[in-house]
């Protein structure tokens, strides 16, 4: 998974896989979802990310299995 923040356009791109995109869906006017031919999410693109998602601040935490 890759997370990229483009400061010049205030765009957040979260890439889940490198599979070819078969379909692109507009979730709203500022959010795009890319899906592969199997229905899996390839990526999510979010415009105005600083106000909608707190970008570029990012936190990652891996939780150990119990």
Measured between alpha carbons, how far is 22 from 53 in angstroms, rounded to an integer? 26
pLDDT tens digits, one per residue of 39-53: 999 999 999 999 998
Q: Is residue 57 part of a domain?
A: no
Domain of 11?
2-50
Q: Is residue 62 part of a domain?
A: no
pTM of the predicted model as reported, rounded to 2 decimal places: 0.86
CB 14 within 8 A of CB 31: no
pLDDT tens digits, one per residue of 50-64: 999 888 888 888 899
Q: Is residue 25 part of a domain?
A: yes
Counting the structural domains of the chain, the total is 1
Q: Is residue 65 part of a domain?
A: no
> What beta strand segments (E) does 1-66 contain?
2-6, 11-15, 23-28, 31-35, 41-47
Strand partners, 3: 14
């Amino acid at each position: 998974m890759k997370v990229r923040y483009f400061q010049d356009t205030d765009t957040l791109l979260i890439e889940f896989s490198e599979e070819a995109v078969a379909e692109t869906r507009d979730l709203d006017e500022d959010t795009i979802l890319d899906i592969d031919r199997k229905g899996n999410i390839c990526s999510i693109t979010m415009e105005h990310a600083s106000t909608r998602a707190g970008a570029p601040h990012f936190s990652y935490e891996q939780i150990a299995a119990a």
